[in-house]
DNA sequence: GATTGACTTTGACGCAACGTAAAGGTTTAT
DNA sequence: ATAAACCTTTACGTTGCGTCAAAGTCAATC
């Protein structure tokens, strides 16, 4: 069976323009061309178009589809997995957008024209709460209530600038750590920078810093499920990696 | 204070090209223009740019932002709600894409090596055991041995594909739940998605699903220490949060 | 065989939100 | 005076086609 553009288009549910475009970008060339210049497609082209449309439905770009369908040695499984990661990232961003839109709706409906200061206060409180939830009990048991209260006091008294700095630091720790993890070497420059950043971050919550306590926290990251989950979220093994890096950084011996 | 393109750009974190483009589409015109043609912005323009960037962060198109910032009689709240609907639609499509990609991955990985297959058998047995330990007794008492045995039979007969799906679901439940917990709203979109995922997960173990039983399980998560510990592991209060979300999802009244 | 209607071709503009030159004028500092 | 740093407009490229426009081709009917 042979098809002209329109016939193939109807068969597959795409426009003739699309087929001409696919010809143009060499992702689907017609089997032959008549003397008068008409594009004629055969069975093989039908199958290939199906394949193209399949990947399109999965949200692949035509460029990537081209590589998959034209290069037979292409690793399809890997492409799929990578693509999935991208989709998950996309959804994460979308989720954040939705949350923010909903927050905005809520605040605009409440007639609360939150000033930046109020917004900031809210974030600050949330940070304290989160911190308390995540680490409070553990630290309370180990160091007593005083330390924690002092830490929280410290946080509450943060200026806006410091707040920005601490959240920035937190992000930098995680990104640097992820980068370092790829190298696989906890003694490497990047890993040591992550450890240094982690110390800096820590000093925002601890009134005094000691290498021993820092090394202790690092070990706790591995031993305690809650910490481990937090750090291993993106890459299993990250908690151990951070511990090793910090132990090297603080000169702690195993 | 007055700003040239570059100064304003640095202040707000956008490129000079962007500012020229915004001028071109009349969404942000400079306060005045010097005799030599330089664009000069003032305080009002800084504020407006902030506003534009705020809506941009929420994913609005410039065309819609233009309407919002130029037309003072524009109904902002309605625009936000409409926008939210669009985002939710977008996420639905994205979710479907992700599911399809994962299905494709699972089927393309159908050709596993023997060791993987063996591992899979081991995991399956472990899953049954865990399930038995965690829920067995409770369900046995409530629904009798037959239900549990049937459930275990069902699990054993899972295909590799289904197994992947169920473990993937389990992960997705926990991550979505964690995300939802941060919002604090069990009626919110993300929490409801978690409840939906939890239902999907459950149907892998239950031969039949009912809203009552689902709501019942949710309550049990809070009442029973073993369940509570499992769910509260990462964030105290998660078990309650999940229960509330599921109760809302199933329409169960307190 | 001429006309009609359905089909085909290439070519080119348009879309969103800028990035990235290119070519040239202006301001500021030395 | 001259260079460095800034500014201007113009215009092409990005993705995946939709949508004309102008012109040629094919099959069927009068």
Nucleotides of D under 7 A from a protein CB: 6-11, 15-20, 24-26
Give the containing element (helix H, strand E) for B154.
helix B145-156
Q: How far is CA A4 from CA A10, A19, A21, A53, A183, in A?
A: 10, 10, 15, 18, 54
- Higher-confidence residue: A69 or A35? A35
> CA(B66)–C1'(C14) in Å?
21
- Nearest-angstrom CA–CA distance, A227 and A234: 13
CB A20 within 7 Å, strand D: no
Residue B33 sits at φ, ψ, to 5 deg, of -130, 130
Please classify residue A85 by burial: count the beta carbons closer than 10 Å to its beta carbon, then call 0-12 exposed, 13-18 middle and 19+ buried: exposed
Pick from B77, B101, B233: CB nearest A58: B101
pLDDT-wise least confident of A12-16, A19-23, A146-150, B120-124 = B120-124
> So what's the pLDDT on residue B161?
52
Residue pLDDT, tens place only, A166-179: 666 777 787 788 87
> So what's the pLDDT on residue B107?
67
Q: Decide if pLDDT at A152 tops 50.
A: yes
Q: Buried b / exposed e across A205-228, counting CB within 10 Å, b at 16+?
A: bbeeeeeeebbebbebbbeeebbb
Whether residues B101 and A87 touch (CB distance < 8 A) is answered with yes
- Nearest-angstrom CA–CA distance, B197 and B144: 26
Average pLDDT over residues A154-177: 64
Whether residues B183 and A99 touch (CB distance < 8 A) is answered with yes
> So what's the pLDDT on residue A156?
52
Any A CB within 8 A of B188 CB: yes
Nearest nucleotide (C1') to alpha carbon of A64: D15
> So what's the pLDDT on residue B178?
81
> So what's the pLDDT on residue B8?
93
> So what's the pLDDT on residue B253?
62
Please identify among residues 37-66 of chain B the ones whose CB lies closer than 8 Å to any CB of chain A: 57-59
Average pLDDT over residues A225-232: 62
In A, which residues are within 8 Å of B80 by CB distance?
Answer: 101, 104-105, 108
A2: Cβ contacts below 8 Å, ≥ 6 apart: A31, A40, A41, A42
> So what's the pLDDT on residue A183?
82
Whether residues B101 and A77 touch (CB distance < 8 A) is answered with no
- Nearest-angstrom CA–CA distance, A18 and B202: 43
Please identify among residues 75-114 of chain B the ones whose CB lies closer than 8 Å to any CB of chain A: 76-77, 80-81, 83-84, 87-88, 90-91, 94-95, 97-98, 100-102, 104-105, 108-109
Task: Return chain B residues 31..60 having CB < 7 Å to nucleic acid strand C.
Answer: 34-38, 56
In B, which residues are within 8 Å of A94 by CB distance?
Answer: 87, 90-91, 94
> So what's the pLDDT on residue A23?
96
- Higher-confidence residue: B92 or A4? A4
CB A38 within 7 Å, strand C: yes
> So what's the pLDDT on residue A35?
95
Report the percentage of chain A scoring pLDDT > 70. Answer: 59
β-pairing, A32-33 vs B32-33, is unpaired
Confidence of residue A132 (pLDDT cuts 50, 70, 90): very low
Residues belonging to chain B: 254
> CA(B48)–C1'(C22) in Å?
32
Q: Any idea where the domains of chain B sit in the sequence?
A: 5-74, 115-250
Q: A5-70 and A116-250 share one CATH topology?
A: no
In A, which residues are within 8 Å of B240 by CB distance?
Answer: none
The topology (CATH level 3) of B5-74 is Multidrug-efflux Transporter Regulator; Chain: A; Domain 2 (1.10.1660)
> So what's the pLDDT on residue B130?
43
Q: Decide if pLDDT at A134 tops 60.
A: no
CA distance A32 to chain B (A): 33
CATH number for the domain formed by residue range(s) A116-250? 1.10.490.50
3-state secondary structure of A41: strand
Confidence of residue A83 (pLDDT cuts 50, 70, 90): confident
DSSP structure string for B2-19: -B-HHHHHHHHT--HHHH
Whether residues B101 and A80 touch (CB distance < 8 A) is answered with yes
Q: Decide if pLDDT at A137 tops 60.
A: no
Task: Return chain B residues 55..114 having CB < 7 Å to nucleic acid strand C.
Answer: 56, 61-63
Which residue ranges of chain B lie beneath pLDDT 50? 112-136, 138-140, 143-144
Nearest nucleotide (C1') to alpha carbon of A21: D17
Q: Which of B190, B189, B191, B195 is nearest to B218 (CA)?
A: B195
> So what's the pLDDT on residue A7?
94
Cα-trace Rg, chain B: 27
Q: Decide if pLDDT at A17 tops 70.
A: yes
CB A6 within 7 Å, strand D: no
The topology (CATH level 3) of B115-250 is Globin-like (1.10.490)
Average pLDDT over residues A213-240: 69
Pick from B58, B80, B101: CB nearest A83: B101
Q: Decide if pLDDT at A84 tops 90.
A: no
Beta bridge partners of B41: B3
> So what's the pLDDT on residue A201?
73
Please classify residue A146 by burial: count the beta carbons closer than 10 Å to its beta carbon, then call 0-12 exposed, 13-18 middle and 19+ buried: exposed
> So what's the pLDDT on residue B13?
84
> So what's the pLDDT on residue A122?
38
- Nearest-angstrom CA–CA distance, A2 and A42: 5
CATH number for the domain formed by residue range(s) A5-70? 1.10.1660.10
């Amino acid at each position: 069976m042979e098809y002209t553009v329109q016939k193939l288009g109807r068969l597959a549910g795409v426009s003739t323009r699309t087929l001409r475009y696919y010809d143009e970008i060499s992702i689907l060339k017609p089997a032959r061309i008549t003397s008068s210049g008409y594009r004629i497609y055969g069975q093989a082209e039908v199958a290939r178009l199906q394949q193209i449309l399949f990947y399109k439905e999965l949200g692949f770009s035509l460029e990537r589809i081209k590589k998959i369908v034209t290069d037979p040695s292409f690793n399809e499984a890997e492409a799929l997995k990578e693509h999935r990661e991208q989709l998950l990232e996309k959804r994460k961003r979308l989720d954040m957008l939705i949350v923010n839109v909903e927050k905005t709706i809520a605040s605009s409906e409440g007639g609360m024209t939150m000033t930046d200061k109020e917004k900031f206060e809210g974030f600050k409180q949330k940070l304290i709460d989160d911190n308390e939830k995540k680490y409070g009990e553990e630290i309370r048991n180990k160091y007593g209530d005083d330390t924690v209260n002092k830490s929280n006091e410290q946080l509450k008294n943060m200026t806006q600038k410091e707040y920005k700095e601490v959240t920035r630091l937190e992000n930098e720790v995680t990104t640097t750590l992820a980068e370092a993890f790829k190298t696989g070497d906890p003694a490497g420059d990047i890993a040591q920078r992550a450890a240094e950043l982690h110390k800096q971050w820590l000093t925002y919550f601890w009134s005094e810093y000691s290498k021993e306590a820092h090394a202790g926290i690092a070990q706790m990251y591995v031993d305690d499920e809650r910490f481990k989950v937090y750090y291993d979220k993106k890459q299993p093994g990250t908690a151990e990696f951070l511990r090793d890096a910090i132990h090297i950084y603080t000169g702690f011996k195993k």
